[in-house]
């Protein structure tokens, strides 16, 4: 059957129209992708902020912080803090912490704004410490800041994290962690950490200092009986310290306080006669 020319042309147009639309849509999509790539999109399909925009927000928050515009600075960070998958999420967490910390110390101590600001600090700091994976220098910075606001337990955790991250400076970091535990009212925990440092040290002077300091904290926090047991266990690994009269006298006094006068008598006799302790039982 023969079709009229105008009917054939209309049918042919209906066949071409979908193909033309596809070509047009492809061209538009290519332009959109090119623009998106230019502004920071690199293959992900999460329609969040581009990296360039996120960096701009971080920079803007830092500038606003410097001028004392704390709420405006936090407003710049809000979109970044809402996306934990962002590569700049951790940087945004740190920036928010610095905003809150700066604001807290900008208020006079004892005032209502200062108290409100201080109450916001510990949860933020806890979130940073739980996030983990900070460089050793950042852990130390967080530890000092935690100590400054009275978050002593968090300070100790940060110092210990720094020690794990940087074994070359572990002794100093662990010593600071022990001080933080003691400041937190957990002197026994700090004392045990110092005894562990004494046991690992190869310097007799440092061994003695760590031992005596740690034993003092342990006795104050856990009592004479617990301290005596911990001290004897440490000295079993450091028998050379029994030649230190200060340590022998300390252990004898501790034995008396623990209700063990016979042991104290043996140790005191050895110290007074300037002879090595023959029995460490």
- Same-domain pairing of 123 and 70: yes
- Same-domain pairing of 199 and 281: yes
pTM over 0.85: no
Within a domain: residue 11?
Answer: no
Pick left, alpha or beta for residue 169 (phi over 0 → left; psi -120 to 50 → alpha; otherwise beta): alpha
Within a domain: residue 192?
Answer: yes
Within a domain: residue 27?
Answer: no
The stretch 158-176 carries a mean pLDDT of: 97
- Same-domain pairing of 125 and 151: no
pLDDT at 83: 84
When mean pLDDT is compared over 3-17, 82-96, 99-113, 222-236, the highest value belongs to 222-236
Within a domain: residue 30?
Answer: no
CB 122 within 8 A of CB 116: no
Within a domain: residue 203?
Answer: yes
The stretch 72-94 carries a mean pLDDT of: 89
Range name among 64-78, 160-174, 213-227, 244-258 with the lowest pLDDT average? 64-78
- Same-domain pairing of 140 and 126: no
Indicate the SS3 state at residue 2.
coil
- Same-domain pairing of 219 and 280: yes
Q: Does the CA dihedral 25-28-29-30 come out positive or negative? A: positive
Boundary-marking domain end, from 176, 205, 237: 176
- Same-domain pairing of 201 and 281: yes
- Same-domain pairing of 197 and 278: yes
- Same-domain pairing of 76 and 91: yes
Residue 222 structural domain: 186-281
When mean pLDDT is compared over 50-54, 57-61, 98-102, 155-159, the highest value belongs to 155-159
- Same-domain pairing of 220 and 241: yes
Q: Work out how many domains the chain is built from and give that number.
A: 3
């Amino acid at each position: 059957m023969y079709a009229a020319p105008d009917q054939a042309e209309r049918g042919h147009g209906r066949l071409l129209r979908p193909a033309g639309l596809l070509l047009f849509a492809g061209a538009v999509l290519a332009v959109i992708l090119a623009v998106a790539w230019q502004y920071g999109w690199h293959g992900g399909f999460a329609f969040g902020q581009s990296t360039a925009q996120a960096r701009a927000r971080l920079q803007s928050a830092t500038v606003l912080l410097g001028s004392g515009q704390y709420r405006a600075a936090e407003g710049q960070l809000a979109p970044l803090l809402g996306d934990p998958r962002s590569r700049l999420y951790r940087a945004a967490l740190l920036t928010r912490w610095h905003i809150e910390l700066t604001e807290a110390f900008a208020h006079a101590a004892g005032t209502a704004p200062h108290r409100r600001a201080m109450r916001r600090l510990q949860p933020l700091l806890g979130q940073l410490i739980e996030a983990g994976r900070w460089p050793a220098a950042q852990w130390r910075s967080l530890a000092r800041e935690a100590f400054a606001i009275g978050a002593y337990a968090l300070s100790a955790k940060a110092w210990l994290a720094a020690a794990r991250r940087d074994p070359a400076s572990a002794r100093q970091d662990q010593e600071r962690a022990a001080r933080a535990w003691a400041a937190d009212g957990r002197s026994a925990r700090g004392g045990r950490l110092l005894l562990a440092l004494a046991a690992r040290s190869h310097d007799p002077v440092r061994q003695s200092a760590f031992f005596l300091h740690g034993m003092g904290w342990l006795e104050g926090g856990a009592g004479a009986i617990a301290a005596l047991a911990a001290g004897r266990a440490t000295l079993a690994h450091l028998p050379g310290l029994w030649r230190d009269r200060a340590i022998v006298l300390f252990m004898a006094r501790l034995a008396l306080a623990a209700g063990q006068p016979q042991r104290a008598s043996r140790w005191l006799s050895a110290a007074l006669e300037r002879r090595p302790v023959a029995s460490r039982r």
